[in-house]
């Protein structure tokens, strides 16, 4: 008997043209939405990465400066620079004839009475600023010794110290007035911070740098170190105690005569107690969609409105000098 099949058994199944178009439209919307989400996420990542890099530069530069400033006037077992023999005296830059680097001028390494000094919006040391001097930026010098005792080293400027006195020397031999059992040896540290107009690592980018005292086989030398590319300006103001009550009475710019024993305007007993630091830091490359219209005023200087495509940040901090109190 012949078999009969219903018509439905031979009907093809699938999508109609209308259903296919609807599916394609929905798929297109989903793809467009996914691409937009990806682009937004990428833009957010780029912005966050840029902000993080500027913050990282600012943090590193500030931490480097702070670590030095906090220990200014540390002379090993005491904190009184005027007890250290061999330091520069009024009218006698190098009374003991110690070897010192000539690059940054006589007294740069030995003026221990000036544990922190500098120049307001200027840099005039004889040792040339690598990369040129950035306009509207301070320079300042910190003098101290290493926190931990160091081995004797001929050719390096060192300080032998007790609780009541110290002496500079550079021949690698403990000075005769000191007993190795009752004194400690520390390396002299001198750092001058400034902002260069051009980084040696990233040309065209300003950078925080420092001149630092070290030594080689020939004796004391000065090295120039790059610290943080992207720092556009550093400003410093010094908190001065003028009446020996361990309290800041006024803030002055670096180079003010009030705390300089060699200046006519010196107030006897005036001491630097704190330092206010401002940093203006920018990104290393311009960014699309950014126009910096902020007016930057760190310290006593007005840098104006950059009106360019670099991301910037201004940070500040007041640093207490641990060894300033009496």
- pLDDT block averages, 10 residues each, the chain of length 326: 54 72 82 79 71 94 96 91 90 90 90 92 94 95 96 96 95 94 96 97 95 93 96 96 91 91 86 95 91 95 95 96 78
Give domain status of residue 127, yes or no: yes
pLDDT of residue 14: 67
Domain range for 254 = 44-320
Give domain status of residue 234, yes or no: yes
User: Looking only at Cα atoms, what is the longest distance across the chain?
Assistant: 134
Taking the C-alpha atoms of residue 44 and residue 53, their distance in angstroms, rounded to an integer, is: 14
Give domain status of residue 28, yes or no: no
Residue count of the chain, please give it. 326
State the total domains in the chain.
1
Taking the C-alpha atoms of residue 100 and residue 107, their distance in angstroms, rounded to an integer, is: 8
Q: How far is CA 249 from CA 117, 246, 253, 274, in A?
A: 18, 9, 14, 11
For residue 84, the cross-strand partners are 166
Q: How far is CA 3 from CA 6, 9, 78, 280, in A?
A: 10, 13, 115, 92
3-class DSSP state for residue 166? Answer: strand
pLDDT of residue 75: 94
pTM: 0.86
Give domain status of residue 13, yes or no: no
Give domain status of residue 73, yes or no: yes
Give domain status of residue 33, yes or no: no
pLDDT of residue 2: 57
Give domain status of residue 7, yes or no: no
Quick one: which of 103, 220, 228 has its CA closest to 171? Answer: 220
pLDDT of residue 129: 95
Give domain status of residue 12, yes or no: no
Helix segments in the chain, DSSP class H: 17-70
Taking the C-alpha atoms of residue 43 and residue 46, their distance in angstroms, rounded to an integer, is: 5
């Amino acid at each position: 008997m012949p078999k009969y099949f219903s018509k439905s058994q031979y009907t093809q199944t699938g999508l109609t043209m209308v259903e296919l178009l609807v599916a394609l439209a929905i798929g297109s919307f989903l793809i467009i939405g996914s691409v937009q989400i990806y682009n937004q996420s990428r833009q957010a990542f780029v912005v966050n990465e840029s902000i993080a890099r500027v913050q990282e530069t600012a943090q590193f530069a500030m931490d480097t400066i702070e670590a030095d400033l906090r220990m200014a006037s540390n002379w090993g077992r005491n904190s009184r620079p005027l007890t250290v023999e061999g330091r520069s005296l009024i009218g006698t830059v190098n009374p003991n004839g110690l070897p010192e680097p000539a690059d940054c001028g006589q007294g740069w390494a030995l003026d221990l009475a000036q544990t922190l000094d500098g120049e307001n919006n200027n840099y005039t040391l004889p040792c040339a600023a690598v990369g040129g001097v950035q306009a509207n930026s301070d320079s300042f010098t910190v003098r101290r010794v290493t926190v931990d005792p160091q081995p004797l080293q001929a050719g390096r400027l060192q300080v032998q110290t007790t609780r009541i006195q110290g002496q500079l020397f550079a021949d690698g031999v403990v000075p005769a007035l000191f007993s190795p059992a009752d004194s400690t040896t520390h390396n002299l540290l001198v750092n001058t911070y400034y902002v260069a107009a051009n980084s040696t690592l990233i040309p065209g980018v300003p950078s925080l740098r420092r001149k630092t005292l070290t030594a080689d086989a020939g004796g004391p030398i000065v090295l120039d170190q790059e610290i943080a590319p992207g720092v556009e300006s550093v400003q410093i103001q010094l908190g001065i105690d003028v009446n020996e009550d361990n309290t800041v009475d006024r803030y002055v710019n670096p180079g003010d005569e009030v705390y300089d024993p060699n200046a006519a305007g010196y107030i006897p007993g005036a001491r630097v107690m704190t330092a206010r630091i401002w940093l203006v830091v920018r990104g290393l490359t311009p960014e699309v969609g950014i126009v910096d219209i902020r007016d930057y005023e760190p310290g006593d200087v007005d840098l104006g409105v950059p009106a360019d495509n670099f991301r910037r940040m201004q940070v500040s901090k007041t640093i207490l000098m641990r060894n300033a109190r009496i």
